[in-house]
Structure 1
């Protein structure tokens, strides 16, 4: 018996007089009757408008039909169900197992005019739901719909906030709770199964109803996979076996903070000297303006011409060698667009490597007072050309890493070389961009030595994006777009199969009179010491923000917290290795290890860092104490050495001592005990 046939034994399809039920490993997956159908089909025309990565999306729906009747036919490979409504409307669902034994649905509209599908999966009122990519406002997704479309994350991301209102008024940029760089049609249920949709079209996963989850797809077909497990850890191992896993990080990542610096070679050297003289452990310099600067009303922007700017960065090639000999890496910046007024654009245009507009000309995207061409990554020659740009202009220069920015801006009215609609390619674009970077490392033998980090993602990013970062948080204390939002972002990505995540220390977006305070920078530094990577960012308006070298106290704070981070190096490396081997994320929801504790399923602002550290970042201004929840275990306060058995606790939480506990039974207990003396 092959694997497919073996797993079909776990599939139970029971027909009734006017419908059927489908169970998979004792989980009810589909429930259908004429009165409560599980499938609708229809016809719609997408109305999608983009402005600087912010999307307005509407559906001009012409028809939506419930398919009330179902005819079930058993076949050797599974079942075929034909759904109908009268004689005119029908769809076909094939149910079987894929080559690895996963439950697989293949759903097709029978009429070519129907390009919309709504499928209702059975649910229980008490279910919790996690995943759907990187979600910043909610970790448990139950009770809300989540449109899945990669875009800018939005400024503020809460329609009740003044900042969001201002951003919406200015350029529709305020966003909402579901706006994200990294959406993905994958969710995990507390019934201990995952559901993954292979498609990349616009989708809306609605978890509002108590008895079902409705998956809406703007396409005429869908491939959906399910797997079950006895534990969440085993379930994530299965999910990441399907999607892929990140490789281990370069060893230098654990050796301190990567300093985000702009302004040229000597500015980098000066700030590096200042921080190292102050006792800060520095593993690298990240200079995003290595290719030059473009000043706009938004602030200081990078020149999108991916070549070393020797005027701003004289002797950079030799300085990189010097820094490397001192244990300091140099990181740069790139994205998949080329500025229309620069020579890389001219080269790409001459070779026909840019995505086209309706008239056959090169499609130009307005990025905020300048335009960029879209390198057509579906064109194999363009893809290889841009991969060589990475190899020759970044890797050969000596860059040990870079920010692989953007990926979410693909306009839906552009025309691509592969002939696939840009509406369908839009969500797939970030993973294609990740693959281009990944292959540049692989083909130069640098995978494992060089790090690139991305904000945009989708299905496939697990294989190719070696590190995610949380994007462009506001330099404020807001729950939906400030320091706090990074925690559910990391946890939701963890439940979507991507276990490596970090953020800009202090946030990035500086608009509408917001300014990064010293306290916010220090609290973010505290938090980042308990993530897989520490990296700062000046922000889009550096002069308005408190910086890492703002005063002696700030430098001393970074010295202490980078010492904490580097002390934890062997422990973090072990957790990263677990992620690479089994898909067990580094920043973990508490319920992964405390399944029987109901409280852990609703916690979104605290996490386990590896197996044995519990972290609850302080994310409110002016606080010097903090309350958190500890599941039943024997916990030790990292900073005081005091034991605690669990439950709701309140602790002192001064700057530099974020609430962190370790398990007394941990094999790393002696290492953790040294932290209180730092």
Structure 2
């Protein structure tokens, strides 16, 4: 990082890359004040801002590696930045700031054909260029396309419709095709604006502590550098390699239904019963009873059933989130001990989660964290026999809550998923089960990587829609993977069924065949199980799923190499094509296909009614179609037959795993 004085301004470089260009008539920093309006309804946020001041800091006084920014040479500095680092990594550190500033804008130099990726887990657009992305953890919304009927209906139903930028897991980090990465160290509401050709603008509702920059000659190396920055993920447990996680929420009948999956020849690692705590019926559908202990009336003799299942090599998984239903048994216990967040009247804050209210466990209190880790996760879950769980939510922290450590909830809101991940990780560590117990999350922010072993893509609609269906989980895996999340998966068949939108057998088959080429396979019955088809309701459908699980299991030797590589380098299991073929310009446009490790290319069928599919194969390689064994030259589009159960998958000729891949063809190809 070096500063060059130029024309009453300066240029800031990371190596040879121009990062900031500051001139009196074109300042790189603006500051000001704003008055926000934020309304939350069941995890959906309506955010508006009245900007009361936005002023360019046109004068920059440079003293060594310090830059003092002011509105004019005569004015006092409103912001002072220190420049740190070398050609490979550096930071703009804001060491002094006018206390009146609560809005901040920074312009980063851009090039006309530059591409940018990242932003946490983005579901609609992998290449962020040309759009603005607010970064605020929330429900992603139903539909996520303001032109769709489902989104329109969801908006009418309490503002639950989403938009392209809504995500459970935002992160103020991007990677550029100029071979650098940028991270904004802040938990404040922020936004990345990539709509200008000459600059990218960062907005934050607080002065960040620092802007971090990383350079590398190759994008693959850049991803590894971010892995080093954000932290090594806990490893996947070895038992997960036994097969799919079967999600059933049918009370004690779940165990009998599991037998149908096993009898059909499914490779199974675990039975996941999120309803282990009991259920309540609401207008949204069947919801869980948010009291985190086994419900003996719904699952009689559960502890013995879990032990018997484990003896057969199948684990049991449950569900938990950081809220306590007011009509449960743990709520009064936590309230009496002072573990719940307050409102401004000093009373327990209650959140409406849709026909039932809950208290918020206050994770800014060490005592509350310790209580939840030991009393809930430790005693009620791990000691009871659970091997894992969905660690749900994390996005719902209200901005008017009163926290025990005095934190501003506007600054804690984005940090909350990371605190939630820490609580889960510490609870597991306290029992000596890191790498043995598995929890998975949808919510996240900067730093969640070092605590959470597995992401899931949240609540997609049960359809093929462009912005909320099957294809979005590919984009989510690719974007999250670039910023340090190696392991990603989704609800097979989707989750959200509203307004008459229900699953089809075709959707279930296509989703399952894609999931066979991801690190974890897991089914979910959805929010309305009785209205949606399930795998075990149809012998034909169950046979398709069983075959997909066996394909997944056959690829476990390859998956193990990806897990080992992720632990060493941070490279995700699912990778954008350009990560290994960055000299091929076509690869930068592709967000509906991915490399599964270095050697497999997966191009899932994500539209209904298709029986053939066109995939682009990167240049410089020859690619072997997994099912037919036919070889294709890279650098062009290839159309292949794509019957049910045979998604377009290709392996790189010359791969060290060629014998394994050819064995999959011999065992599973239907023609």
Q: TM-score range by the shorter chain?
A: over 0.9
State the match for 2:37 in structure 1.
Answer: 47
- 1:281 deviates by 1.1
CA contact (8 A) 1:81 1:93 kept: yes
- 1:624 deviates by 0.5
- 1:98 deviates by 6.1
The Cα offsets for residues 18-65 of structure 1, whole Å up to 9 and x where unpaired, read as 211111111001001111110100011221110000000111211111
CA contact (8 A) 2:87 2:215 kept: no
CA contact (8 A) 2:180 2:215 kept: yes
CA contact (8 A) 1:121 1:214 kept: yes
Q: Which sections of structure 1, spanning at least 5 residues, go unmatched?
A: 1-10
State the match for 1:467 in structure 2.
Answer: 454
Q: Secondary structure at the match of 2:78?
A: strand
The Cα offsets for residues 294-348 of structure 1, whole Å up to 9 and x where unpaired, read as 1100000010000110111111111111111111110000000000111211011
Distance 1:520 1:247 in 2: 32
1:97/1:220 CA distance change after superposition, 3 Å: closer
Q: Secondary structure at the match of 1:535?
A: coil
Q: Which sections of structure 2, spanning at least 5 residues, go unmatched?
A: none
- Residue 252 in 1 paired to residue 242 in 2? no
CA contact (8 A) 1:109 1:115 kept: no
Distance 2:201 2:221 in 1: 26
State the match for 1:4 in structure 2.
Answer: none
Distance 2:531 2:639 in 1: 34
State the match for 1:3 in structure 2.
Answer: none
- Residue 341 in 1 paired to residue 331 in 2? no
- Residue 663 in 1 paired to residue 639 in 2? no
- Residue 80 in 1 paired to residue 67 in 2? yes
Q: Secondary structure at the match of 2:379?
A: helix
Q: Secondary structure at the match of 2:293?
A: coil
State the match for 1:7 in structure 2.
Answer: none
CA contact (8 A) 1:109 1:220 kept: no
State the match for 2:340 in structure 1.
Answer: 354
State the match for 1:636 in structure 2.
Answer: 624
Q: Name which of 375, 380, 384 aligns with 2:361.
A: 375
Distance 2:473 2:116 in 1: 19
Task: Supply the RMSD in Å over aligned alpha carbons.
Answer: 1.3
Distance 2:11 2:87 in 1: 24
Moved more, 268-277 or 182-191: 268-277
CA contact (8 A) 2:14 2:88 kept: no
1:348/1:607 CA distance change after superposition, 3 Å: same
State the match for 1:578 in structure 2.
Answer: 565
- 1:92 deviates by 2.5
State the match for 2:134 in structure 1.
Answer: 147
- Residue 63 in 1 paired to residue 53 in 2? yes
- 1:224 deviates by 1.1
Distance 2:116 2:385 in 1: 44
Q: Name which of 183, 202, 213 aligns with 1:226.
A: 213
Distance 1:509 1:571 in 2: 32
CA contact (8 A) 1:67 1:89 kept: no
- Residue 410 in 1 paired to residue 410 in 2? no
CA contact (8 A) 1:506 1:521 kept: yes
Aligned pairs for 1:418-567 (under 5 A) are 418-567=405-554
CA contact (8 A) 2:68 2:77 kept: no
1:454/1:318 CA distance change after superposition, 3 Å: same
CA contact (8 A) 1:93 1:108 kept: yes
- 1:106 deviates by 1.6
Q: Secondary structure at the match of 1:579?
A: helix
- 1:90 deviates by 3.7
- 1:79 deviates by 2.8
Moved more, 102-111 or 177-186: 102-111
Q: Secondary structure at the match of 1:553?
A: helix
Q: Secondary structure at the match of 2:637?
A: strand
- Residue 569 in 1 paired to residue 556 in 2? yes
Relative to the length of structure 2, the TM-score reads 0.97
